[in-house]
Structure 1
Amino acid sequence: MNTTTDAGTEVRTRALDDSHEGSPVTRLVELRATVLGGRGPGASTEEVTEHTRDRSWLGAVPAPVERALVHRQTEQVRAGEPIVNHRVLAEERSRTVRAAALGAVAALAIRAVVVRGVRPRRHRRA
């Protein structure tokens, strides 16, 4: 059996013939214990830094790029500048234009109905 500081690594790296007479049930119990054990207080220092500080990707971008973006946003906030997402602004403008157009159409429709109802009808003489 391999001697490691992490129980999960030990279970993952153990040879199949080394696990208690090769019983699949025993192997399944060990794997479940590893999965359910999580990465809590028993995790090694290397494992913790791998999942916190030494990550190569943060979200969908490389860690240095994400850190640069956060730094830029921090500087903008400290300077009192708003953080603007141009896509969101474009969507807001689009909604505003649509709302104005809908309002104009509604106003014209109401006016047409009201003006038509106020005008007296001319009677035709026979």
Structure 2
Amino acid sequence: MEFNCSNGKTTWQGKIKNYKEYGNHYSLDISARGSGISLYFGQASFGQWFICIPDWNAGLIIGDLRQVSYNAEKIGVAMENDYDGHSVAKALFVFAETKKIQEKDATQEYLDILKAAGFKNIDEG
């Protein structure tokens, strides 16, 4: 899967060279701007996504695979590389779109957990 990347200053080509589905998580091998990046990602509790990039000692949580700008910033900080952060964020977007990965809204699940723990909704009195 090939895709275009941009950080507002320059554009470049990226490619998902390989991917593997493990049921509830995925691995991707990405190539962009001379970097080879392997990453793992999957859905965490409450609908967020965990991203692990072992070769860069980077790991983080994001909320939505399709928020390219926000994810690029977070991933770029974790990897200490703006360009690779954009490449990974765009690869996640392209993969999610291609594989039709559905985002999970876990707001109600989270509220139910808080209620079970004894918290009360101030709007309910």
TM-score by length of 2: 0.25
Greater fraction helix: 1
Larger Rg: 1
Structure with larger RCO (C-alpha < 8 A, sep 6+): 2
TM-score by length of 1: 0.25
